[in-house]
Copies of this chain bind each other. A is one copy, B any other.
Amino acid sequence: MKHQPDFAKLAQSSGEWLRGTGPESDIVVSSRIRLARNLADFPFIRRCSDEDRVSIERTVRARMETLDGWDDIRYVDIEDISEIDRQFLVERQLISREIADAEGSRGVALDPAERYSVMVNEEDHLRIQVMNSGLDLHAAWKQIDALDDKLEGEILYAYHSRYGYLTACPTNVGTGLRVSVMLHLPALVITGQIEKVFRSMQRINVTVRGLYGEGSQYTGDFYQVSNQVTLGHSEESLLSLVGDEVVPRIIEYERKARSFLIDQGEQDLNDEVSRALGILSTAKKISSEETMHYLSKVRMGVNLGLIENVQVGTINKLFIHTQPAHLQKLHGRLLSSSDRNIQRASYLQGHLNGKLGDGELN
């Protein structure tokens, strides 16, 4: 197992899940599954001593090093890296804000494609995550189930014959499963229907969060839809609830809202989308929030065929790579907020200029 990735190099690449491909990728950015697991021989994290945490991390790392097909995996010692590198991993959706902000021995194992991530000493001893581009929960389930089986061959999990996997928080007990689908819903936002859609979901135990998890703002019109509890539900029923019932329904609403916007005034939509690309291509300084706002419109424009020479994958990447830590890693040093706004504008222009189409020169 390799150690500490080169963050500066990583900042120039992007994960598989940002490709902008896979089923329903005009609306579904990514499908993510995570499993919460705990070692039977240690207390839950909040009751752990510092020594316990060190032992847990050491044990898990040692076990992971012998796993089949796990050679390319890099292990990041989160305690050891800088604040900016932690922020970088959060922006990249590879670790949670909680583990970044925690203290003590903790880390994450990552594969080069950034499909897998195994956090050690988060809320649970292990948080195993698989993330795919588009709506692809069943593939994600196969992948995470296989990895979980491998790990379970090496590690004795805390498991109760009646309740299932034991977890720090009761809502995760049972399967320890959380199914999350990241949706891009600009038309439901514009038409003012988004709140209604989400209210209807609360009744069926589905939660909605922003791009960066609980409490994060709904920026860029991105919404993560996931199951609220696992206790009393099988993996299959949770996957089916989110992947076969809830998400397809939201996709249908969003498609209808997009059609409505086009019918109401394609020229208006075209104007809004085109100006958004214009501003992103010409601003000399731009905040993260404004960037997300305009990128969201451009993403919808690309998916509706109103913008032709920009790839969805490029836009997906720009959402992540224009975040503060990414910009600073790309630039090679810490930057003030106002310097970031300048660098962000420059980065956007590097990727978007020349995309505005050739007009006649006059």
Give the copy number: 2
Interface size of A as a range: 20 to 34
Q: Within 8 Å of chain B (Cβ to Cβ): is A349?
A: yes
- A360 touching B350 in the complex, CB below 8 Å, given contacts A282-B277, A283-B275, A345-B271: yes
Residue numbers in B under 8 Å from A215 (CB-CB)? none
- Taking A270-B284, A275-B284, A354-B360 as given, write out 15 further A-B residue pairs in contact, using a Cβ cutoff of 8 Å, ordered by the A residue number: A268-B285, A271-B283, A271-B345, A274-B282, A274-B284, A275-B283, A278-B281, A278-B283, A281-B359, A350-B359, A350-B360, A352-B359, A353-B357, A354-B358, A356-B356
Tell me which of A270, A282, A353 has the highest count of chain B C-beta atoms within 10 A of its own C-beta.
Answer: A282
In the complex the two chains form, what is the Cα distance from A279 to B357 in whole Å? 14
Q: A362: which of B284, B351, B356, B362 is its contact (CB, 8 Å)?
A: B351
A353 touching B359, Cβ below 8 Å: yes
The prevalent SS among residues of A at the interface is: helix
In the complex the two chains form, what is the Cα distance from A219 to B353 in whole Å? 31
Residue numbers in B under 8 Å from A285 (CB-CB)? 267-268, 271
Q: Within 8 Å of chain B (Cβ to Cβ): is A314?
A: yes
In the complex the two chains form, what is the Cα distance from A58 to B283 in whole Å? 58
Using CB atoms, name the residue of chain B closest to A280: B278
Residue numbers in B under 8 Å from A354 (CB-CB)? 358-361
In the complex the two chains form, what is the Cα distance from A357 to B283 in whole Å? 13
In the complex the two chains form, what is the Cα distance from A342 to B356 in whole Å? 17
Q: A281: which of B284, B314, B350, B356 is its contact (CB, 8 Å)?
A: B356
Residue numbers in B under 8 Å from A349 (CB-CB)? 359
Residue numbers in B under 8 Å from A342 (CB-CB)? 267
Using CB atoms, name the residue of chain B closest to A277: B282
Residue numbers in B under 8 Å from A277 (CB-CB)? 282
Closest 8 CB pairs of A and B: A353-B359, A278-B282, A271-B284, A278-B278, A274-B282, A270-B284, A351-B362, A271-B285
Map CB proximity to B onto A330-358 as digits: 1 under 8 Å, 0 otherwise.
Answer: 00000000000010010001111110111
What distance in Å separates the Cβ of A110 from its nearest Cβ neighbour in chain B?
Answer: 24
What distance in Å separates the Cβ of A207 from its nearest Cβ neighbour in chain B?
Answer: 36
- A356 touching B353 in the complex, CB below 8 Å, given contacts A275-B283, A279-B278, A284-B270: yes
What distance in Å separates the Cβ of A11 from its nearest Cβ neighbour in chain B?
Answer: 14
Map CB proximity to B onto A7-49 as digits: 1 under 8 Å, 0 otherwise.
Answer: 0000000000000000000000000000000000000000000
- A362 touching B314 in the complex, CB below 8 Å, given contacts A279-B278, A356-B353, A356-B356: yes
In the complex the two chains form, what is the Cα distance from A286 to B270 in whole Å? 12
Within 8 A of B (CB), among A117-175: none
Map CB proximity to B onto A202-223 as digits: 1 under 8 Å, 0 otherwise.
Answer: 0000000000000000000000
Tell me which of A271, A283, A360, A362 has the highest count of chain B C-beta atoms within 10 A of its own C-beta.
Answer: A362
Residue numbers in B under 8 Å from A358 (CB-CB)? 353-354
What distance in Å separates the Cβ of A137 from its nearest Cβ neighbour in chain B?
Answer: 31
A275 touching B267, Cβ below 8 Å: no
Residue numbers in B under 8 Å from A353 (CB-CB)? 356-360
